[in-house]
């Protein structure tokens, strides 16, 4: 699980999301705070990202993990 916040820091470990991505407002998923979460905690799908946006997520994860 990666937190999504409206606080956009402009750092390489975050990916900006917008209403075009299915989010209600401009926000950022922060990949430097990834944690485990039980699947039962998720009641509904928030959004589904395009392959291009998922590429950005993978890039940010590489930065966060130092790979």
**Number of compact structural domains in the chain:** 1
CATH number, domain containing residue 43: 2.30.30.110
**Residue 45 pLDDT > 90, yes or no?**
no
The more confidently predicted of residues 59 and 47 is 59
Taking a C-beta distance cutoff of 8 angstroms, is the pair 2, 33 a contact? yes
List the domain range (segments joined by +) for residue 22. Answer: 4-65
Reported as a single tens digit per residue, the pLDDT across 8-26 is 999 999 999 999 999 999 9
Taking a C-beta distance cutoff of 8 angstroms, is the pair 29, 55 a contact? no
Q: Assign 42 a pLDDT band (cuts: 50, 70, 90).
A: confident
Taking a C-beta distance cutoff of 8 angstroms, is the pair 27, 53 a contact? no
**Residue 6 pLDDT > 90, yes or no?**
yes
């Amino acid at each position: 699980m990666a937190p999504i916040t409206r606080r956009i820091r402009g750092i390489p470990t975050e990916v900006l999301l917008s209403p075009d991505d299915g989010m209600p407002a401009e926000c950022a998923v922060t990949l430097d705070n990834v944690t485990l979460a039980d699947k039962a905690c998720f009641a509904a799908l928030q959004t589904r990202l395009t392959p291009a946006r998922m590429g950005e997520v993978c890039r940010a994860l590489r930065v966060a993990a130092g790979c």
